[in-house]
Amino acid sequence: MDLGIKGKTVLVTASSKGIGRAVAEGFAAEGCSVAICSRNKDELLNTAEEIKKKYGMEPVWCVCDLNNIKDIETTIETVTKQLGRIEILVNNCGGPEPGNFQQLSEKNWQAAFEQVLLSAVRLCNFVVPDMILNEWGRIINITSVSVKQPIDNLMLSNSLRTGLIGFAKTLSNEVAKFNITVNSVAPGYTLTNRIYDIAVHKAKQSAKSHEEVLVEMAKEIPINRLASPDEIASVVVFLASKQASYITGNTIQVDGGLVKGLY
Ligand code: NAD
């Protein structure tokens, strides 16, 4: 199926590995001009090289700490200079610190606010004016099933990602008339470094190994396995497509049935 986005300019943040990287690869496979960023230069170089080998296009890359507004500004400048205006923005970020209420400090809360919510607001501040001028744009946020059903011991994710959903819904109402859609994808348990770290954290609090924790996680999921990152990426790419032009203000779970509620 032709998704109608060949040649579009895409910035995927936090994309040197995991879900962000799979999303960048998904857009490269569609013939988009892709830009990636994260904090680690070596990982970025490696990812850029592998995308070039696989898809024959060289992504623009930029070292960026999403908690730092100057880095975000530099990233936008670099991408715009090399690829032109950003037409598709995928707001991904590293996962906030796990922990329950009593384990988290004010410093943890501030860092998570900057990473999960403020970074997306800042990125939108930079790209939305151009999308309005262009009368076309796609913004897709990577969140978590925690926005539908809070996950034990992930206080920061549960609290701040729902703020991002409120922001996305409100923004979607404001920009819909300019042909700009704003949606969010809520992954369930997905096989990346992040889920490994969470399993290690949970294992420390129980008498289990992290392997046993991962097996238990899979048992919670009706599909009975964790997702692969490209199963999340394919939904993100679809939301950017011409076929998805009437979907906006939505949060789509990609969770193998993990969330038990109806909505
Ligand atoms: P990951 O740890 O595999 O990859 C995270 C990426 O973010 C890496 O490229 C890392 O370099 C980058 N990053 C981290 N902090 C950054 C910062 N301050 N600035 C810029 N880049 C930064 O994680 P993942 O599993 O791919 O998760 C991606 C997002 O999806 C996270 O927010 C995570 O919490 C969320 N999520 C993951 C799962 C899962 O099961 N893996 C489930 C639900 C939600």
Tell me if 206 is assigned to some domain: no
Q: What angle do CA 38, 44, 47 make, to 5 degrees?
A: 125
Per-residue pLDDT of the chain in tens (263 residues, 90 and over written 9): 899 999 999 999 999 999 999 999 999 999 999 999 999 999 999 999 999 999 999 999 999 999 999 999 999 999 999 999 999 999 999 999 999 999 999 999 999 999 999 999 999 999 999 999 999 999 999 999 999 999 999 999 999 999 999 999 999 999 999 999 999 999 999 999 989 988 998 898 888 999 999 999 999 999 999 999 999 999 999 999 999 999 999 999 999 999 999 88
Distance 190 CA to ligand 1 centre (A): 11
Per-residue pLDDT, 249: 98
Tell me if 61 is assigned to some domain: yes
Q: What SS3 state is found at 251?
A: strand
Distance 15 CA to ligand 1 centre (A): 8
Per-residue pLDDT, 198: 84
Supply the residue whose CA is at minimum distance from atom 15 of ligand 1. Answer: 94
Tell me if 4 is assigned to some domain: no
- Rounded to two decimals, the pTM is 0.97
Tell me if 214 is assigned to some domain: no
Angle between helices 119-134 and 155-175 (to 10 degrees): 20
* Residue span of the structural domain in which 164 resides: 9-189+228-254
User: CATH number of the domain that 171 lies in?
Assistant: 3.40.50.720
Tell me if 151 is assigned to some domain: yes
Q: Answer yes or no: is the C-beta of 76 below 6 A from any ligand 1 atom.
A: no
Domain tally, the chain: 1
Tell me if 204 is assigned to some domain: no
Tell me if 155 is assigned to some domain: yes
Task: Give the burial class of 259: count Cβ atoms within 10 A of its Cβ; 0-12 exposed, 13-18 middle, 19 or more buried.
Answer: middle
Contact between 5 and 32 (Cβ < 8 Å): yes
Q: Which residues are within 8 A (CB) of 196 and not within 5 positions of it... i.e. 6 or more apart? A: 210, 214
Tokens read off for 37: 């960023």
Distance 113 CA to ligand 1 centre (A): 15
Q: Answer yes or no: is the C-beta of 194 below 6 A from any ligand 1 atom.
A: yes
Q: Which atom of ligand 1 is nearest to the CA of 65?
A: 19
